[in-house]
Structure 1
Amino acid sequence: MATLHLVRHGESEWNLAGRVQGQSPEAGALTPRGLDQAAGAAALLAQRNPRAEAIFSSDLPRARQTADVIAAALGLPVREDPRLREQDLGCLEGLRLADPLGEGVVHDEIERLWREPWRRPGDGESITDLYERIHGTLKEYAGQGRELILVAHGGPVRVAMTTADPRLREPVPRVAVGNATVTTVDH
């Protein structure tokens, strides 16, 4: 059996600014609060006494920085895996959630992507694309039969935990995934 600990990155500069991050490397580093959150995730993982062999992290700076904090606390190596990246939100990246867009605001468009998981934001990924990427990656990690820590983003954690199947055009609930939360899944 494999155990995967999914960790969302700590608060980034763009989280704090209310901007759409997606895969933008300009989303910034962790804020001081984000560093504290990452340390809290590391403490929680240490308390759970995982037998994790390694940490795999999205290669985006905010996730890698979170992974490095956890790695320092647990004495584990970190390897980057770009498949753990956030959804590519294309033309929405960098916009503020409250910016006007169409008949609403950017936040409304983000919500619509989860209700209509086949839609792509400009030149970005659909929720269905994200689902297939993340589920394929998790299946590969689970197939190794090891205990691992995977540091990713809110979107990947949401699609990993959903019971909806966007490939069948089912809406995916956009549940809250807090910064630096730890979700453990046994396969």
Structure 2
Amino acid sequence: MAVLHLVRHGESAWNLAGRVQGQSAEAGSLTARGLRQAAETAELLVRRPVSAIFSSDLPRARATADVIARALGLPVREDPALREQHLGHLEGRRFTDRLGDGTVQDEIDRLWREPWRRPEGGESIADLYERIHTTLDRYAAHDGELVLVAHGGPVRVATTSADPRLREPVPRVAVGNASVTTLGRSRCC
């Protein structure tokens, strides 16, 4: 059984600004606080027998992975499958911006309650769930402990007991910056 340490990236510039990041290339990298968070997470992981580090290719995740990699003395391999949910037209907007009868935050909350809905130009929670679980099954084929640096959405769908492909709402639980969620995962076949 593989042990997968899912790490959410440290605080980013758009986290601090209250903007929707998704897969936007403009979302930027880590703040000074985010770099400190990544270093604290690296200190936790250095005690583990980690054999490899994989990271989303988005700058905020890659910067977090680089800090962890330096502490563990391992290279980082990028995997675009670990990216955040593509949020289409919502990306770059502030959570408090007006949108229709509510706010951008209201629309994001609705996506989690109605996981088959796709934001214009983006992917649904069900799409994200399928992508992340397929990716985690692939990593389960590895032996030992792996660090997977990703984002809040992927960590949420990796740990939910709901199945959004069956139109079950997925709780939008808090996932802290640079937090570590450890999963034991068996090979599927």
1:7 aligned partner: 7
2:49 aligned partner: 51
Output one character per residue of 1:59-86: Cα deviation in whole Å (capped at 9) or x when no partner: 0000000000000011111000000000
2:24 aligned partner: 24
* Residue type of the alignment partner of 2:173: V
Shift of 1:145: 2.7
Counterparts of 1:165 and 1:89 in 2: how far apart (Å)? 20
Q: Does 1:138 align with 2:124?
A: no
1:37 aligned partner: 37
Counterparts of 2:143 and 2:43 in 1: how far apart (Å)? 24
Any idea what SS the aligned residue of 2:138 has?
helix
Q: Does 1:115 align with 2:113?
A: yes
Query: Which residue of 137, 147, 155 maps to 1:149?
Result: 147
Q: After the TM superposition, which of the residue ranges 16-25 and 136-145 deviates more from structure 2?
A: 136-145
Counterparts of 1:143 and 1:83 in 2: how far apart (Å)? 16
Q: CA RMSD in A?
A: 0.6
1:106 aligned partner: 104
1:174 aligned partner: 172
Shift of 1:143: 1.6
% identical equivalent positions: 76
Consecutive unaligned residues of structure 1, counting only runs of 5 or more, are none
Counterparts of 1:91 and 1:145 in 2: how far apart (Å)? 39
2:80 aligned partner: 82
Output one character per residue of 1:37-61: Cα deviation in whole Å (capped at 9) or x when no partner: 0001101112xx2211110000000
Aligned length: 185
Counterparts of 2:40 and 2:145 in 1: how far apart (Å)? 20
Any idea what SS the aligned residue of 2:146 has?
strand
Any idea what SS the aligned residue of 1:26 has?
coil
* Residue type of the alignment partner of 1:26: E
Counterparts of 2:117 and 2:144 in 1: how far apart (Å)? 35
With normalisation by structure 2, the TM-score equals 0.97
Consecutive unaligned residues of structure 2, counting only runs of 5 or more, are none
Shift of 1:123: 1.0
Shift of 1:142: 0.5
* Residue type of the alignment partner of 2:168: E
- Return structure 1 stretches of 4+ with deviation > 4 angstroms: none
Any idea what SS the aligned residue of 1:170 has?
coil
With normalisation by structure 1, the TM-score equals 0.98
Output one character per residue of 1:74-128: Cα deviation in whole Å (capped at 9) or x when no partner: 1111000000000000000000000000001000000000000000000100000
